[in-house]
Chains A and B, each alone.
Chain A
Amino acid sequence: MFRGFYTVASGMLAQQRRTEMLTNNMSNANTPGFKEDQSSLRAFPEMLLQRMDQQGVTIPTQKGLNLPFNKRIGSLSTGVYMQEAIPAFKQGDLKETGLGTDMALLDVSMPENGSVFFTVAGPNGETNYTRNGNFTVDGQGFLTTASGLRVLNDAGNPIQLISDQFTVNENGVLTGEGGVTARLGIGFAADANRLIKLGDGLYQTEDGNALANAYNAPDAQFKLQQGYIERSNVDVSRTMTDMMTAYRAFEANQKVLQAYDKSMEKAANEVGRI
């Protein structure tokens, strides 16, 4: 059996995964606060090949015992898979919307891999994080995300307002009608790559614990901008190019698979012919 059969098949699967991921990036080219995923492909763990040699060590016994000798040929990689989809936490463009309930986080200076997030009470009561500041005010006056999840203040409590007329300054202090004041809760992830994407713009820490308070993080500087949203950081032209590359790689793998199939055909129908 040809080993390469499964190697090219894994290549096709990996490229298909990549296309799926790129399509999802493209779908979210207009989603506020979306961070594009970047794929990394990894070769399967290598196998060690050895050869059993005919001419081994002959032990001088009465009948001349011949022990086969193992010879190392080298390592062989048998395929590839998509190992990671890593969100790229680089700042998206800010877009003015003129709506008071829209907010954007603007990174002024961030440590490498670090990022700041709005704090949101998740659907099951846990604390989630989001970059999507497309908020609204619900019937009871709570500041919520577009899906109705409550936005939390720096003490971890929901923010209740009297009306949708309020101001938020650069430092995240919200001042609403009727003397309502709150400071928006902003979480700081020192290594944002360790966060898990949940969909609906939400992120969660791996162990479910809360992130550190970003206001106290000395090396993270950021600003809040009211009336703006952070646009998705998907680069559509690059995504399209990547998609075409992935497609062609898929096609190349398919051609190799066909070549293997031809060899099999020969083996089956021609080599054995009498």
Chain B
Amino acid sequence: MNRTMITATNTLSQLQKQMDIVSHNMANIDTAGYKRREASFTDLLFQQFNNQHDVRAEGNRLTPNGIRQGVGAKLAQSKIVMAQGSIKSTDRALDTAFTKEGQYFRVLEQSENGTAIRYTRDGAFYLSPLSDTETMLVTGNGYPVLDENNNPITINGRVNEYEITTNGRLIAKMENGGTSEFNLGVVQLKKPQFLEQKGGNLLGLPENMAELNVPVNEILTELNGPMRNEISIQQRALEQSNVDMSKEMTDLINLQRAYQFQSRSVSIADQMMGLVTGIR
């Protein structure tokens, strides 16, 4: 069997996966707080063929005995790129944007599997009414935004104006003249590659956290107490995704060409096999 076919098909399927990643980035170019992923390749296993068992019969060689042949390339890793996105002013009181890399809001995701704390950089918040007087601060998907003690933020009474300070303090100025204040829950990621994308613009710790035996505080730091001074939030603005359309497009063209080259290899191998069957 011609190994060219195996090598080329291996690589084709992996190139397809990279294309998936590129198109996912492009699809999320307008998702607030989205961080692009970048994929990279590595070569696959090498196999050694010994033409001569005795190296003395080989004459002048530059390399050690035998020939080593690879079997294509595979996707090595897809890294999340934490670079800051550009800030877009929206002039909406409940829109917030982080201006420091690696800081995320804490939200409570509710699903059929129970509730879990997730992290997001999408700072477009909304209010969800709980009763006639009570409202809760939620994300665009309706998940509650958590405060510094991981409790949902509920505001009692009618509010005239919202103010969010640089350090993530939400100040609601009430109609009756009083104020109620909350500290938005923020984390600083130390090892962002460890987190999983959970969909809905959320990041979360892996499901098998217990097996991995990695303490949570080595992955991220909850910015509570005096550490809140490190938080950097801008109100009335949203962070746009850090996807660069022209870069993704260039990558896509490159990928498509690589895909074509591999398909050419398959057809060349096919023609060679045709020649073999056509010997007689």
Across the A-B interface, how many residue pairs have beta carbons closer than 8 Å?
181
Does A118 belong to the interface (CB within 8 Å)?
A: no
**Which of B28-76 touch A at CB < 8 Å?**
38, 40-46, 51, 57-59, 61-64, 67-73, 76
Question: What are the residues of chain A within 8 A of B71 when measuring CB–CB?
Answer: 24
Bound CA span A236–B258, Å: 9
Does A62 belong to the interface (CB within 8 Å)?
A: no
A20 with B79: CB separation less than 8 A:
no
Question: What are the residues of chain B within 8 A of A199 when measuring CB–CB?
Answer: 43-46, 70
Does B265 belong to the interface (CB within 8 Å)?
A: yes
Question: What are the residues of chain A within 8 A of B41 when measuring CB–CB?
Answer: 28, 30-32
Question: What are the residues of chain B within 8 A of A19 when measuring CB–CB?
Answer: 2, 4, 265, 268-269, 272
Q: Which of B7-15, B109-117, B118-126 contacts A (4 or more CB under 8 A)?
A: B7-15
B62 with A84: CB separation less than 8 A:
yes
Q: Which of B157-165, B189-197, B228-236 contacts A (4 or more CB under 8 A)?
A: B189-197
A257 with B193: CB separation less than 8 A:
no
Chain A residue, CB-CB nearest to B265 = A23
- New A-B pairs, 6, CB < 8 Å, besides A23-B269, A199-B70, A236-B261: A19-B265, A23-B72, A24-B69, A42-B59, A240-B264, A261-B280
Chain A residue, CB-CB nearest to B64 = A206
Number of chain A residues whose Cβ lies closer than 8 Å to a Cβ of chain B: 67
Question: What are the residues of chain A within 8 A of B214 when measuring CB–CB?
Answer: 139-140
If over half of B's interface residues share one DSSP class (helix, strand or loop), that class is named, otherwise mixed; here it is mixed
A3 to chain B, nearest CB (A): 18
A212 to chain B, nearest CB (A): 18
Question: What are the residues of chain A within 8 A of B227 when measuring CB–CB?
Answer: none
Question: What are the residues of chain A within 8 A of B72 when measuring CB–CB?
Answer: 23-24, 27-28
If over half of A's interface residues share one DSSP class (helix, strand or loop), that class is named, otherwise mixed; here it is mixed
Tell which of A22, A84, A244, A250 touches B63, judged by Cβ atoms closer than 8 Å.
A84
Bound CA span A42–B69, Å: 17
A167 to chain B, nearest CB (A): 15
**Given known A137-B193, A197-B70, A250-B275, contact A20–B64 (CB-CB < 8 A):** no
B57 with A29: CB separation less than 8 A:
no
**Given known A26-B262, A26-B265, A200-B45, contact A32–B275 (CB-CB < 8 A):** no
Question: What are the residues of chain B within 8 A of A139 when measuring CB–CB?
Answer: 191, 194, 212, 214, 218-219
Tell which of A87, A134, A247 touches B268, judged by Cβ atoms closer than 8 Å.
A247
Which residues of A line the B interface, CB within 8 A? Answer: 12, 16-17, 19-24, 26-32, 34, 37, 42, 45, 81-87, 97-99, 101, 132, 134, 136-141, 146-147, 162-165, 177, 193-194, 196-201, 206, 229, 236, 240, 243-244, 247, 250-251, 254, 257-258, 261
Question: What are the residues of chain A within 8 A of B255 when measuring CB–CB?
Answer: 30
Question: What are the residues of chain B within 8 A of A45 when measuring CB–CB?
Answer: 57
B61 with A84: CB separation less than 8 A:
yes
**Given known A140-B214, A146-B76, A261-B279, contact A99–B81 (CB-CB < 8 A):** yes
A27 to chain B, nearest CB (A): 4
- Residue-wise interface mask of B (237-280) relative to A, using a CB-CB cutoff of 8 A (1 in contact, 0 not): 00000000000000000110110011011001101100110111
Interface band, chain B: 35 or more
**Given known A83-B61, A193-B63, A199-B46, contact A16–B2 (CB-CB < 8 A):** yes
**Given known A27-B72, A139-B214, contact A193–B2 (CB-CB < 8 A):** no
A247 with B271: CB separation less than 8 A:
yes
B191 with A29: CB separation less than 8 A:
no
B213 to chain A, nearest CB (A): 9
Chain A residue, CB-CB nearest to B76 = A146
B64 with A194: CB separation less than 8 A:
yes
Tell which of B7, B57, B68, B73 touches A197, judged by Cβ atoms closer than 8 Å.
B68
A196 with B64: CB separation less than 8 A:
yes
B10 to chain A, nearest CB (A): 7
Bound CA span A28–B44, Å: 9
